Chains A and B, each alone.
Chain A
Amino acid sequence: MYRYDELDQALVDQRVAEFRDQVRRHLAGELSEDEFRPLRLRNGLYIQRHAPMLRIAIPYGLLSSHQLRTLAGIARRYDRGYGHFTTRQNLQLNWPALADVPDILAELARVQMHAIQTSGNCVRNVTADHLAGIAADEIDDPRPYCELIRQWATLHPEFTYLPRKFKIAVTGSPEDRAASEVHDIGLQLRRDAHGELGFSVRVGGGLGRAPAIGQVIREFLPLAELFAYLQAILRIYNLHGRRDNIHKARIKVLLKSLGLERFREEVESEWQASRADAPQLTAADLERVRACFKPQPYATLADSDPNAGRESAFKAWYRYNTRPHRVPGYRAVFVSLKAHGAVPGDMTSAQMEAVADLAERVSFGLVRSTHAQNLLLADVPQHALHEVWRELTGLGLAMPNIGTLTDMIACPGLDFCSLANAGTIAVARQIQQRFDDLDYLYDLGEIEIKMSGCMNACGHHHVGHIGILGVDKHGEEWYQISLGGSANGYTALGEVIGPSVAQHEVAATVERIVETYRELRAEGERFIDTLRRVGHAPFRERAYAAHPAAA
């Protein structure tokens, strides 16, 4: 993984010192809340329902065991002994005290971490494919580019006060596992006709209000031009994006109002005019960072059959919670944060510490967070899988449900977030209870439920096969259901199927929808494929069948 050099370290240290002074001035009454807000946001600090919420950056989801242990310690000492992994692969603490935050940031800096630009109208944590570096279909590892973009965007003098937040994802495989098409900028690594590496560049994707799928503005961008092109896009956005209405301030709105062709012309001419003054991505910089992401020192192993002679519980876990690895004898293992009865994405300090230990023993001391709110041990020898399964089972982290309906994405919702209209945790629990039978879950196969407590769509509900959006109805928590969304490969936005339903009706409605699928599916057909084949109508009818009173 990337290691800070003296420059990187000095920068985060100086950032901590600056924020310590800002907190001091705020607490002394020298900085009003209005003045302090944009400053604290750029250090990941929200003021939430119960307490401040601190969002810690996990660049492209990669953590060392040492860093994970530090997060565990921080959560125990300054919070209530747990944290919440987010769809941007970050970690949120829900209960830190404002006065402690500078100390927390200083502890993070000691392990080469920070909370810089995890909120506010600036370039946010750059995300990547959680199978980066181990997927068989990979063209190039996206993480060095993510790291370079992280550096380029950190305290960027020109782009720290944009019209609105700005999210970038990079994928290195043809299969998009980073939802790059619903990002403000989605970069997809590819090779041109001469075999040269570069990116296709998509702009204007995003969820939230008025969700949109990103559009390709450049089919092939040479690597060296990465920063210059990002600068051109961001400069056009910074100068011309709307600032009068927070709901129309994302780059997708600018793209739509200019039209793709005109937007592209603006960016291309800005790029041509400014590239000589923009930083260049040199081969030396790229090689220096790439060297940090070299393949692990794998042992020479043969693929084996880890299932031979094993119990059925292990086999189920192996099937659902592990993925192929491009090196023979290895396997990637999900650490499921979706146990039934638990809050999706939540993890206790003790669990973090145990996983850190496990990673040191069996996965080169590295852990990844995924945008679906699980962790991943990327490089586990197949002969260690049974031991890993037993340990994870003991920790409550082996729920064999990855990719199934209860591997749902959910934001923290009304219980924690001051933006939310409705709770997500109670609904998640309801769904977990109703779908607690594993055989039933497995029969339903691959279904993605994504749930957000408000229009800001932190839970990516627009791209869930089944999307659930919390809405406020005269002070009550109701839920809008959408169908047909997807962020993998074939990106599509879900359509709302009808009136919202009351909280106690959500799981039953989901059940009627998936029962409809069971009746209509062809042999071996996935939920999303049946839905695309037959359309929404039969699902819509059944969803409300037992529910005429819905308003």
Chain B
Amino acid sequence: MRHILRRREIVADTWRYLGETVEPGGALVVPFAELRGARERWWSWTGRLGVRLSPANRVPDIADDLPRLDLVAVEFPSTGEGRGYSQARLLRERFRFRGELRAVGAGVRQDLAFLLARSGFDSLEPPEQKELAALRQALTRYDVGYQPGAALVELRRQRFFAPNASRAAAAAEAARGVPSADT
């Protein structure tokens, strides 16, 4: 049974990738090319549906499918492959995808957990199950940051805010004062 890190919990993965055994009506992840090539077929799948993106796949190409999708898995085939971070931000910010956003592949390592979580991923599937605990632990390495980002890593202080981001967050930061904000 495959486990993943979802939010901050190590949990059994209820999703199956195409090619794995899946119950009728189960949660199924199909590759980008499958979804593009046989859209009606996969839309009529009776269970929850997800898609798996490779680095070269373009997020706008699945924009119309997002209402049907409960999960988008983004591949990180190596540490150096960084397109997935931009794919995640586009999904969350441009296309307002609110389902599960999962990072998967050999590049999903503890040393990148902070970047992945701040980019909007809320589930992480490392190449080896034994890495799950370290991955969870790594989410706490930083508790400050400069840029806006997703909430999975809770920052006690952040500096720059987007107009769309919560005004309250910026106000709270300002109210805490600079530079004596050491709470």
* A binding-site residues for B, Cβ under 8 Å: 3-7, 10-11, 14, 17-18, 22, 35, 38-39, 121, 151-152, 154-163, 227, 235, 238-239, 243, 273-282, 284-285, 288
Number of cross-chain contacts by CB at 8 Å: 126
Partner of B182, one of A6, A158, A161, A285: A6
Bound form: Cα–Cα A4–B181 in Å: 12
Bound form: Cα–Cα A18–B141 in Å: 7
CB–CB A157/B118 < 8 A? yes
Residues in A whose Cβ lies below 8 Å from that of B109 = 35
CB–CB B163/A276 < 8 A? yes
CB–CB B149/A157 < 8 A? yes
Q: For the complex, is B111 an interface residue (Cβ under 8 Å from A)?
A: yes
Bound form: Cα–Cα A513–B66 in Å: 65
- Provide a sorted-by-A list of 27 A–B residue pairs whose CB atoms are within 8 angstroms: A4-B179, A6-B180, A11-B142, A11-B144, A17-B141, A35-B109, A121-B80, A121-B82, A152-B147, A152-B160, A155-B115, A155-B145, A157-B85, A158-B119, A159-B82, A160-B85, A161-B79, A161-B85, A227-B160, A239-B83, A243-B80, A273-B94, A276-B164, A279-B162, A280-B163, A285-B160, A288-B178
Closest 9 CB pairs of A and B: A161-B82, A5-B179, A279-B160, A157-B118, A277-B93, A158-B85, A157-B115, A157-B119, A10-B144
Bound form: Cα–Cα A160–B174 in Å: 27
- B137-154 interface (Cβ within 8 A of A): 141-149
**Nearest neighbor of A17 in chain B, beta-carbon distance:** B141
Partner of B83, one of A6, A238, A274, A288: A238
Interface residues on B, range: 35 or more
CB–CB B146/A152 < 8 A? yes
Bound form: Cα–Cα A163–B80 in Å: 8
Residues in B whose Cβ lies below 8 Å from that of A5 = 178-179, 181
Bound form: Cα–Cα A282–B165 in Å: 14
CB–CB B94/A10 < 8 A? no
Partner of B161, one of A38, A273, A279: A279
Residues in A whose Cβ lies below 8 Å from that of B111 = 18, 22, 39
CB–CB A38/B79 < 8 A? yes
Q: For the complex, is B159 an interface residue (Cβ under 8 Å from A)?
A: yes
Bound form: Cα–Cα A155–B115 in Å: 8
Bound form: Cα–Cα A163–B83 in Å: 9
Known: A6-B180, A10-B143, A11-B144. A235 touches B86 (CB 8 A): yes
Bound form: Cα–Cα A35–B160 in Å: 31
Q: B70 CB to closest chain A CB, in angstroms?
A: 23
CB–CB B162/A277 < 8 A? yes
**Nearest neighbor of B174 in chain A, beta-carbon distance:** A284
CB–CB B83/A35 < 8 A? no
Q: Apart from A7-B179, A280-B163, list 16 A-B contacts with CB within 8 A.
A: A5-B179, A6-B180, A7-B144, A7-B159, A11-B146, A17-B141, A121-B82, A154-B146, A155-B142, A156-B146, A161-B115, A243-B83, A277-B163, A279-B161, A280-B160, A280-B161
Residues in A whose Cβ lies below 8 Å from that of B94 = 273-274, 277
Residues in A whose Cβ lies below 8 Å from that of B181 = 5-7
Bound form: Cα–Cα A79–B116 in Å: 36
Q: A26 CB to closest chain B CB, in angstroms?
A: 11
CB–CB B146/A155 < 8 A? yes
- B165-180 interface (Cβ within 8 A of A): 165, 174, 178-180
Residues in B whose Cβ lies below 8 Å from that of A3 = 179
**Nearest neighbor of A151 in chain B, beta-carbon distance:** B146
Q: A249 CB to closest chain B CB, in angstroms?
A: 11
Q: For the complex, is B32 an interface residue (Cβ under 8 Å from A)?
A: no
Residues in A whose Cβ lies below 8 Å from that of B80 = 38, 121, 161, 243
Partner of B159, one of A39, A151, A238, A278: A151
Residues in B whose Cβ lies below 8 Å from that of A235 = 86, 89
Q: A168 CB to closest chain B CB, in angstroms?
A: 15
Residues in B whose Cβ lies below 8 Å from that of A35 = 79, 109
Bound form: Cα–Cα A9–B167 in Å: 25
**Nearest neighbor of B158 in chain A, beta-carbon distance:** A7
Partner of A276, one of B83, B87, B115, B162: B162
Q: For the complex, is B48 an interface residue (Cβ under 8 Å from A)?
A: no
Bound form: Cα–Cα A158–B91 in Å: 13
Bound form: Cα–Cα A162–B94 in Å: 20
Q: For the complex, is B97 an interface residue (Cβ under 8 Å from A)?
A: no
Bound form: Cα–Cα A156–B93 in Å: 16
